[in-house]
């Protein structure tokens, strides 16, 4: 275990290398580029011994890694923004085909108009592709999430997307601790799939299905996605035990327990929200920040358990759920709390789109505005 100060993309690349991937295909896009460059350097120096294919598009990148995954390889690709949108068709293919691909998506706003900076519209537009989605708020989480992603993906045969904010995390230098390769090997042994595309095994992957077979596969994917929640919890515990390092929960609460106001968010904004909660507490409002680590499947139980009866939940999204006030996290939170007996006021807003700087004062203003709405 050693301490490093690197960019978020380098943290991700180091973890991908340690995870022992067999196959990678990628296409450059800002702000992902330095990540695929870093792994290309590992390949050039011989540190990465698997196959790295420089494809001509993200659609081909996802097609190639999905196919390599079907052969039984541990695969990786990374993208951002338009690249993720271009992959969309194959995201459904990878999850429907139960191929445990892991991908990093370095969050960036989507066209039109062009914008290079962070928001979550790219990731959340893939919400219903059947991928499991992790969000990171700092470099340590980026590094650790890579191992968690492979662990869970290969257990449930569902692909995992790791998202972190472009530039804010991908290009900033922050400290994080690495884990020894021997520990990683123990946590992530070589992939041993139940089926692989090979003449010794046989099988026609994904030919035409009639409604009954098709719907059975889809319901199974939906069920297994929900079941993966427990596998995430268990896998985080196992990682903690092996590394001796505390991991954030699926929803990590910071600040006072039994607060009156809770601030839920994901991505780099969630780190700032901890400071916002401290500021609010100073102003006499008992506040706690909630950082969402797993967006898909949504950890509803965690949210319901954390929130005390009668509290107020403010949800800030770096995206917009068009046709609905606020963003997707706001929708998720309201949906999760609907079945609860607890009476909780939920308010939401969309902030930081296209990389609008989310300083503590900007966030505090938005939270105070929503608290005023709550009072009215």
Partner 1 sequence: MNTNEKKEILQPVSMPVEGVAGFTSAWRSQWPKLDSEKCNGCLLCWIFCPETLISREDRSIDLRYCKGCAVCARECPVNAIEMIREGEE
Partner 2 sequence: MSEKMKENILESSVNPMVGLPHAEISKHKEHDGTEVAALSSKLAEMPEYEMVHKGTGACAGCPSPMGLRIVGKVLGPNSVVVMTPSCTVASTGMMPKSCFKIPVLNCAFASAAATATGITGAYDALIEKGAISGPKPTVFTWIGDGGTYDIGFQGLSAAAERNDDFIFFCYNNEAYGNTGMQRSGATPRHAITTTTPGGKTENKKNLPILMLEHQCAYVATASVSYPQDLFRKVAKAKDIKGFRYIEVHSPCGPGWKIPWSETIDMGKRAVKTGAWALWEAENGNLTINAPTLQIAQGKVKPASLEEYIELQGRFNLVTRSPDKDKIIADMKDGIEKDLKRLLMRL
Contacts with partner 1 by CB under 8 A lie at: 70, 96-99, 154-155, 157, 189, 191-195, 202-207, 209, 213, 217, 220, 224
Strand partners, 24: 52, 76
Nearest to 65 by CA among 38, 15, 99, 104: 99
Strand partners, 103: 77, 161
Contact 332, 317 (CB under 8 A): no
DSSP string of 162-184, one letter each residue? EEEETTTTTSSEEEEE---HHHH
Nearest distance from residue 376's CB to partner 2, in Å?
A: 50
Nearest distance from residue 69's CB to partner 1, in Å?
A: 10
State the angle between helix axes of 360-375 and 269-282 in degrees (0 to 180), rounded to the nearest 10: 60
Specify the residue for token string 């009668």: 310
Nearest distance from residue 214's CB to partner 2, in Å?
A: 8
From the list partner 1, partner 2, none, pick the one residue 99 interacts with, judged by a Cβ distance below 5 to 8 Å according to partner type: partner 1
Pairing assessment for the beta strands 312-317 and 345-350 based on DSSP bridges: parallel
Nearest distance from residue 19's CB to partner 1, in Å?
A: 13
Identify the helix (H) or strand (E) that includes residue 289: strand 287-292
- Residue among 99 and 273 whose Cβ is closer to partner 1: 99
Report the site for partner 2 in 203-242 (rule: CB under 8 A). Answer: 203-210, 213
- Residue among 60 and 368 whose Cβ is closer to partner 2: 60
From the list partner 1, partner 2, none, pick the one residue 54 interacts with, judged by a Cβ distance below 5 to 8 Å according to partner type: partner 2
Nearest to 20 by CA among 153, 197, 150: 150
- Residue among 186 and 335 whose Cβ is closer to partner 1: 186
Nearest distance from residue 99's CB to partner 1, in Å?
A: 7
- Residue among 120 and 191 whose Cβ is closer to partner 2: 191
Specify the residue for token string 């275990």: 1
Nearest to 139 by CA among 4, 48, 21, 263: 4
How far is 32 from 79, CA to CA, in rounded Å?
6
Interface characters, 46-85, with partner 2 (x: CB under 8 A): ---xxx-xxxxx-xxx-xxxxxxxxxxx-x----------
Residue 111 in the binding site for partner 2 (CB under 8 A): no
From the list partner 1, partner 2, none, pick the one residue 220 interacts with, judged by a Cβ distance below 5 to 8 Å according to partner type: partner 1
Nearest distance from residue 94's CB to partner 2, in Å?
A: 10
- Residue among 98 and 108 whose Cβ is closer to partner 1: 98
């Amino acid at each position: 275990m050693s301490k490093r100060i690197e960019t978020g993309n380098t943290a991700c690349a180091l973890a991908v290398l340690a995870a022992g991937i067999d196959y990678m295909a990628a296409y450059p896009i800002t702000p992902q580029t330095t990540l695929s460059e870093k792994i290309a350097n590992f390949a050039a120096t011989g540190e990465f011994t698997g196959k790295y294919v420089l494809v001509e598009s993200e659609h081909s990148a996802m097609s190639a890694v999905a196919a390599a995954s079907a052969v039984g390889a541990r695969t990786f690709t990374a993208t951002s923004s338009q690249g993720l949108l271009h992959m969309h068709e194959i995201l459904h293919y990878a999850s429907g085909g139960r191929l445990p691909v892991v991908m990093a998506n370095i969050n960036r706003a989507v066209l039109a108009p062009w914008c290079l900076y962070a928001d979550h519209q790219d990731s959340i537009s893939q919400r219903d592709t059947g991928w499991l989605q992790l969000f990171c708020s700092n470099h340590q989480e980026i590094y650790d999430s890579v191992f968690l992603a492979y662990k869970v993906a290969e257990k449930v045969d569902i692909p995992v997307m790791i998202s972190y904010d472009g530039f804010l995390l991908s290009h900033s230098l922050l400290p994080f601790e690495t884990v020894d390769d021997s520990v990683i090997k123990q946590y992530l042994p070589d992939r041993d799939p139940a089926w692989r595309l090979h003449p010794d095994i046989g099988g026609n992957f994904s030919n035409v299905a009639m409604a009954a077979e098709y719907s059975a596969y889809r319901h199974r994917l939906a069920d297994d996605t929900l079941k993966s929640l427990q596998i995430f919890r268990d896998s985080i515990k196992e990682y903690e035990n092996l590394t001796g390092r505390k991991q954030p929960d699926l929803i990590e609460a910071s600040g006072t327990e039994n607060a009156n106001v809770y601030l839920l968010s994901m991505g780099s904004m969630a780190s700032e929200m901890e400071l916002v909660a401290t500021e609010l507490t100073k102003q006499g409002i008992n506040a706690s920040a909630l950082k969402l680590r797993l967006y898909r499947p949504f950890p509803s139980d965690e949210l319901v358990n954390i929130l005390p009866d009668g509290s107020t939940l403010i949800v800030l999204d770096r995206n917009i759920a068009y046709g609905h006030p606020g963003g997707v996290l706001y929708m998720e939170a309201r949906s999760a709390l609907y079945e609860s007996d607890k009476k909780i006021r939920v308010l939401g807003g969309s902030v930081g789109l296209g990389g609008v700087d989310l300083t503590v004062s900007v966030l505090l203003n938005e939270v105070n505005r929503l608290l005023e709405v709550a009072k009215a």
